[in-house]
Amino acid sequence: MTSKEKVALMVQVADDMKAEGIETLDVRKKTSIADYFVVCTGTNDRQISAIADEVEKKMREHKERPSRTEGDNSGWVLQDYGDVVLHIMRDEQRQFYDLETLWKTMQPDQNLA
């Protein structure tokens, strides 16, 4: 799967699972750790886990597995698929860390151009 196909599938699954505030951040010119971040909000740990489980299930159907998953029952689950990283957060964590503002305001890395 291409990174854009991964993003589209993650966004679709998150939307189907009633995640809120789904956003895709293109970080290709800002970091070498990933091409895209998908960020969304779950209303509680149970919903966050359900979204994470369903994304992983659908990605496995396409022979994609996360290289790591972190944060079960912590209010923030991260799934790293190499070129795409999925962040599913409770609203409190999302507001506190504000990944969208951090990555949108970060200047491009000249070494990545």
Q: Where are the domains of the chain?
A: 3-98
**Residue-level pLDDT, tens digit, the chain, 113 residues:** 999 999 999 999 999 999 999 999 999 999 999 999 999 999 999 999 999 999 999 999 999 999 999 987 789 999 999 999 999 999 999 999 999 999 999 998 888 86
Region of 21 on the Ramachandran plot (φ > 0 left; ψ -120 to 50 alpha; else beta): left
What CATH number is given for 3-98 in this structure?
Answer: 3.30.460.10
Token pair for residue 104? 């949108």
pLDDT at 73: 77
Alpha carbons 33 and 20: distance in angstroms, whole number: 25
